[in-house]
């Protein structure tokens, strides 16, 4: 029997002769090749003849702990080759330090350990670099950046609505879209409500312009000077710049998803697909997750609350953003979530392992399944109605309702303090 070991310093060939074990040949890596071995297939392709020379057309059984070696030897005509477990190679692996010490003219074991450690560190650095360079990692950071930008925009809108609202409070009710409100104040360039002419409001509809003009004439807001208006306009302009960054990030995510996960993009869109990758940690993690895990991604708190206290488990996580789920009736959402999660799991695996585009087929199957669910369950079942009624009955009474205060209520604390005073006396 022959053994093939791939270690940090090279490929070693061991042999068992009756009960005698020994390492007979080796193919040592140089410094550059030590880095190449992170992808052993590339090394085997470029050094195939040197590897075959180590065997000399042997008819003995050959075992290895690397599938790349096994596959290559089978393709080369070796029929008696198989994959070995770690325990089978343990006896020959114990001989590696002595063999390397003699072969590499190393005087002390410490020097050998240092060399092996250095090569292993180079190997690990390359693996980490490949992991970090994966496109799905950049996608995850981009979707998190959009979340941060949304938080910033909400803060800017809240501040502008209060600040500019001192002068023109009615505008907030007439323009309820946050980005549109920020853009409108930025476009006015510090103009007061009395100076909001048709040119400044030209991008709005005729009805909206008329309502804003009428509200400006009848406004109850306080007067303001141009000196006080300038910083408001600057803050709004800053909000518009952030909106442009967000638009660019949206385009970046859309283009990247076409390359990284086109099947996921076809099923749930670019933003939700990227968010699923970010929640899973990577496209690889998402591909290796079960459909049940994909279904509750983003609902971890509710899931752990279910495990801890026995409450109802969550029906869906972040996939609730899909129109297939949030537009469905309440009693249909659980079934649709399971169907969508199953298709997403298939899409992620195809995107990661093969790259073949089957998104249109998955989408048709999903739409068909959703229609079947909606037609088969138009109304909630008796069991679902009963559970809903039981939930309503189980809702706790208000803590401060008269005559039903618990220990957290004012009376509870008063009784507790009186009891403590009695004990002290």
Query: What are the pLDDT digits (tens) for 221-233?
Result: 888 888 888 899 9
Q: Does residue 8 contact residue 119 with C-beta atoms inside 8 Å?
A: yes
Range in 38-47, 164-173, 174-183, 331-340 with the lowest mean pLDDT: 38-47
Q: Is the pLDDT of residue 174 over 80?
A: yes
Contacts of 61 (CB under 8 A, 6+ apart): 1, 2, 80, 81, 82
Above 70 in pLDDT, residue 126? no
Indicate whether 315 pLDDT > 80. yes
Q: Provide mean pLDDT across the span 90-108.
A: 74
Q: Which of 115-129, 173-187, 293-307 has the lowest mean pLDDT?
A: 115-129
Task: Give 385's pLDDT tier (boundaries 50, 70, 90).
Answer: confident
pLDDT band at 402 (very low <50, low <70, confident <90, very high): very low
Q: Which of 61-75, 86-100, 304-318, 398-412 has the lowest mean pLDDT?
A: 398-412
- Give residue 404's pLDDT: 45
Question: What percent of the chain stands above pLDDT 90?
Answer: 32
pLDDT tens figures, 326-383: 999 988 999 999 999 999 999 999 998 887 899 999 999 999 999 999 999 888 887 7
Q: Give the C-alpha separation, 91 to 103, whole Å.
A: 19
What average pLDDT does this structure show over 193-214? 76
Tell me phi and psi for residue 62, to 5 degrees.
-120, 130
Residue 218 pLDDT exceeds 70? yes
pLDDT for residue 30: 64
> What is the predicted pLDDT for the residue at 132?
46
Which residue in 343, 331, 349 sits closest to 368, CA to CA? 343
Give residue 270's pLDDT. 93
- Structure-model confidence comparison of residues 97 and 161, the more confident one: 161
**The overall pTM is greater than 0.75:** no
- Average of per-residue pLDDT across 238-264: 93
Of residues 408 and 343, more confidently modeled: 343
Q: Which value, in Å, is the radius of gyration of the alpha carbons in the chain?
A: 34
Q: Where are the domains of the chain?
A: 2-131, 138-252, 261-389, 400-425
Extract the tokens encoding 245. 């960054």
> CATH 1.10.287.4070: does it fit domain 138-252?
yes
The contacts of residue 64 (CB under 8 Å, 6+ apart) are 3, 4, 5, 6, 70, 73, 81, 83, 84
pLDDT bin (cut points 50, 70, 90) of residue 95 is: confident
- The distance of Cα 390 from the centroid of its chain, to the nearest Å, equals 36
**Which CATH number does 261-389 carry?**
1.10.246.90
The residue with tokens 């070696």 is 69
Question: 145 vs 388, which has greater pLDDT?
Answer: 145
Which pLDDT tens digit goes with each residue over 13-51?
777 777 777 777 777 776 555 445 556 777 777 777 877
Name which of 74-88, 196-210, 246-260, 351-365 the model is least confident about: 196-210
Task: Label each residue of the chain as H, E or C.
Answer: CEEEEEECCEEEEEEEECCEEEEEEEEECCHHHHHHHHHHHHHHHHCHHHHHHCCCCCCCCEEECCHHHHHHHHHCCCCCEEECCHHHHHHHHCCHHHHHHHHCCCCCHHHHHHHHHHHHHHHHHHHHHHHHCCHHHHHHHHHHHHHHHHHHHHHHHHHHHHHHHHCCCCHHHHCCCHHHHHHHHHHHCCCCHHHCCCCCCCCCCHHHHHHHHHHHHCCCCCCCCHHHHHHHHHHHHHHHHHHHHHHHHHHHHHHHHHHHCHHHHHHHCHHHHHHHHHHHCCHHHHHHCCHHHHHCCCCHHHHHHHHHHCCCCCCCCHHHHCHHHHCCCHHHHHHHHHHHHHHHHHHHHHHHHCCCCCHHHHHHHHHHHHHHHHHHCCCCCHHHHHHHHHHHHHCCCCCCCCCCCCCCCHHHHHHHHHHHHHHHC
Does domain 2-131 bear CATH number 3.90.1150.10?
A: no
The overall average pLDDT reported for the chain is: 81
Q: What would you measure as the largest C-alpha separation in the chain, in angstroms?
A: 104
Q: What is the pLDDT averaged over residues 204-220?
A: 83
């Amino acid at each position: 029997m022959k053994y093939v070991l791939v270690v940090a310093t090279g490929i070693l060939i061991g042999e068992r002769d009756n009960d005698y074990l020994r390492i007979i040949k080796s193919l040592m890596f140089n410094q550059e090749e030590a880095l190449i071995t992170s992808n052993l297939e590339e090394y085997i392709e470029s050094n195939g003849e040197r590897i075959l020379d180590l065997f000399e057309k042997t008819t003995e059984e050959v075992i290895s702990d690397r599938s790349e070696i096994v596959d290559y030897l089978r393709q080369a005509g070796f029929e008696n080759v198989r994959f070995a477990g770690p325990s089978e190679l343990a006896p020959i692996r114990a001989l590696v330090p002595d063999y390397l010490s003699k072969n590499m003219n190393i005087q002390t074991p410490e020097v050998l350990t240092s060399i092996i450690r250095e090569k292993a560190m180079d190997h690990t650095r390359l693996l980490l670099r490949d992991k970090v360079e994966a496109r799905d990692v950049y996608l995850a950071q981009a979707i998190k950046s959009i979340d941060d930008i949304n938080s910033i925009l909400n803060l800017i809108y809240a501040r502008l609505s209060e600040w500019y609202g001192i002068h023109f409070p009615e505008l907030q009710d007439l323009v309820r879209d946050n980005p549109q409100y920020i853009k409108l104040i930025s476009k006015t360039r510090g103009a007061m409500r009395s100076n909001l002419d048709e040119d400044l409001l030209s991008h709005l509809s005729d009805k909206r312009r008329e309502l804003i003009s009428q509200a400006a004439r009848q406004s109850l807001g306080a007067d303001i000077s141009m000196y006080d208006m300038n910083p408001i306009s600057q803050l709004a302009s800053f909000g518009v710049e952030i909106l442009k960054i967000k638009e660019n990030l949206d385009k970046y995510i859309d283009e990247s998803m076409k390359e990284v996960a086109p099947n996921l993009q076809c099923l749930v869109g670019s933003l939700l697909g990227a968010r699923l990758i970010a929640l899973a940690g990577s496209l690889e993690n998402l591909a290796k997750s079960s459909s049940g895990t994909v279904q509750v991604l983003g609902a971890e708190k509710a899931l752990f609350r279910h495990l801890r206290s026995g409450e109802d488990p969550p029906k869906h996580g972040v996939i609730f953003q899909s129109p297939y789920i949030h537009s469905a009736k309440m009693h249909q959402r659980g079934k649709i979530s399971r169907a969508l999660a199953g298709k997403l799991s298939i899409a992620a695996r195809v995107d990661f392992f093969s790259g073949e585009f089957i998104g249109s087929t998955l989408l048709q199957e999903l739409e068909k399944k959703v229609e079947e669910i909606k037609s088969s369950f138009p109304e909630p079942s008796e069991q679902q109605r009963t559970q809903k009624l039981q939930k309503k009955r189980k809702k706790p009474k208000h803590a401060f309702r008269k005559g039903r205060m618990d220990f957290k209520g004012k009376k509870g604390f008063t009784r507790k303090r009186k009891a403590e005073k009695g004990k002290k006396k």
